[in-house]
A and B are shown apart, each in its own frame.
Chain A
Amino acid sequence: MVTSSSPEVTDSESIVTQAAEWVVLMSDEENPPSTAQKQAFLDWRNQDPQHDEAVDKLQTLLGDIQQFPRSASKAALSVSTSKAYHQHSWQTLAKTFVLLMVIFIPMFVWLPDKVTLMMADKQTSVGDWQSYTLVDNSVIMLSSDSAINVDFNHSQRTIHLLKGEIRVKVSKNPQRPFVVKTEHGSLTALGTEFSVDKRSDYTLLKVIESTVAATCQRRGCDVKPLQPGQQIRVYAEHLGKVSDFSIADASLMWNKRQLMVDGMPLNEVLTILNRFHKGYFYFDAQPLENYHVSAVLPLDNPQAALSLLADSFPLKVTHITPWWTAITVVPKT
């Protein structure tokens, strides 16, 4: 128990510790110290007046404590040494709650979408193109930054387009219609080729071969099945007007990875380009709507495409970070 009582150690802290060691050892009722131990204790006390004084102080302290009313002292020490006085005020609780909400509410809004995308059956990252042959021999191509879920059963083949753009070449089977669904509506085809591009507020259907029927999500809106070379915007609430597009131009994108546009508003061009670019294009759509683009742009190199656009239009392109590119209109002087 008593490890050292060497005379060199005179530091007051170690004297207190040694004195405490002796006092504890000497006060064990069940294991009374032997005569030799008692003598050693006496010797230690006599060795140095400081030793004697330290033992005296401890014994006085313990003697005093013994005189304290027992139950009241016990209550006092249990209360004050428990964490009771560390309790949080309501203010602290309220602040913690608000902070948690600020963190969790966006997470609950953002996470389900992210998880759905992460769990998607097939997906491509930015700049990536993939082609898959499904079990029914239909071929599906995913453009950059796209994701789908495949849901086939006996009566229907369903593709859920979660994000981005796909081109489908359907293997004919009248018993099992082939349906592409997005949050905006459904596109039903029987043995045909078409592309579907999901954008933020609508889904763009382009029919390349045979016919495709389009319906929107909410009301039972219908339109005559679309013919090759026809396109339509499917909004959640209604269908847009059927218009024509060039199949050859559209195929350039899938075959050559080039975006062929003819009179497309500049803001739309930028939206498409952004899907092939790892960062975010920041622009105000309003002033860009008035500029119409007719060009062939390289989709594999969206930065080069952007420079091409900046050469022909009064645009100012600012790269704030690799992830953030601001595009503004500079009126010509």
Chain B
Amino acid sequence: MVQPFNMSSNKQIVFDQPSYKNSFIASLYENHHYWLTGWLSKKLGCSQNASDLTHDTFVNVISKQNDLTQIREPRPWLLTIAKRLLIDKRRRFLLEQAYLEELKLSLDDAEPIPSTEDVYLVINALSTISEALETLPSHVRQAFILRHIDGLTQSAIGKKLGVSTTMVQKYLIQSLVACQQAFETETF
């Protein structure tokens, strides 16, 4: 699961950064992790989740390739990152729940129960796909799901969405590229 950092090009830069940047991150952590945890525990009503999320936020900060010293207002900036991570987490939680529930219902007694690892590999992949589709128009999103999950033909999708087959092909190309790129920049 854990890929070496050199898998994606932007990760490497962190290690190439001059030491003053590392000390900047250190001071950023020192000055801000305390109130961020406090703010998040108030928001989440749970200090455990809050410190997890604070941790995730700083991991996200460290993995950013842009020049951190340019940041003038660290508080709103950190809050924005934390909120986005919170939304991602919620999306992931909903996805996981829906997947597991439906999986339970759809499994026949005769079928072998998939291993936990397999289940989570699929959930991880679906989460990446979902994140990629999220940024696309709803028709593009639907075309992808109808084609690759439901297995409809291109013309059937065209009928369902009320567009031409050429249009469906455009949607499929767009969604396929988005998904591929999402998997390429995958961080875990």
Contacts and interface: CB of A to CB of B under 8 A. Distances in A.
Interface of A: 1, 13, 16-17, 20-21, 23-25, 28-31, 57-58, 61-62, 64-66, 68-81, 84-86
Given A80-B94, A80-B130, A85-B94, A70 B176 contact: no
B40 interface: no
Given A68-B122, A79-B98, A80-B95, A61 B183 contact: yes
Given A30-B155, A80-B130, A81-B130, A75 B101 contact: yes
B46 interface: no
Given A30-B155, A85-B91, A65 B148 contact: yes
Report, as a range, how many residues of chain B touch the other chain: 35 or more
Contact of A16 (B150, B151, B181): B181
B149 A65 contact: yes
Interface string B83-100: 000010011101111111
Instruction: Determine which residue in A21, A24, A30 has the highest number of CB atoms from chain B within 10 A of its CB, and name it.
Output: A24
Nearest to B142: A81
Contacts of B133: 77, 81
B148 A76 contact: no
B160 to A, nearest CB: 14
Contact of B172 (A24, A31, A71, A84): A24
Interface string B152-181: 011100000000011001001100110111
Contact of B145 (A31, A69, A74): A74
B130 A61 contact: no
B102 interface: yes
Contacts of B180: 16, 20, 57-58, 61
A274 to B, nearest CB: 47
A68 B126 contact: yes
Interface in B67-122: 87, 90-92, 94-103, 105-106, 114, 122
| A17, A65, A66 — most chain B CB neighbours (10 Å) | A65
Contact of B148 (A20, A66, A75, A79): A66
Given A17-B173, A20-B180, A75 B102 contact: yes
Contact of B99 (A58, A73, A81): A73
Interface of chain A, helix or strand or loop or mixed?
A: helix
B63 interface: no
B47 interface: no
Nearest to B148: A65
B141 interface: yes
22 contacts: A1-B169, A20-B176, A21-B173, A24-B173, A28-B169, A30-B155, A31-B165, A61-B176, A61-B180, A70-B150, A72-B100, A73-B99, A74-B102, A74-B150, A76-B102, A77-B133, A77-B145, A78-B145, A80-B92, A81-B130, A81-B133, A85-B90
Contacts of A77: 95, 126, 129-130, 133, 145, 149
A201 to B, nearest CB: 50
Nearest to B104: A72
B106 A69 contact: yes
Given A20-B180, A80-B127, A85-B91, A73 B149 contact: yes
B62 interface: no
A81 B92 CA distance: 11
Given A29-B153, A73-B122, A77-B130, A23 B176 contact: yes
A71 B172 CA distance: 20
B116 to A, nearest CB: 14
B24 to A, nearest CB: 31
Given A58-B180, A80-B98, A30 B154 contact: yes
Given A21-B173, A58-B180, A61-B180, A71 B102 contact: yes
A78 B98 contact: yes
Contacts of A29: 153
Contact of A17 (B87, B153, B177): B177
B123 interface: yes
Contact of A61 (B91, B141, B166, B179): B179
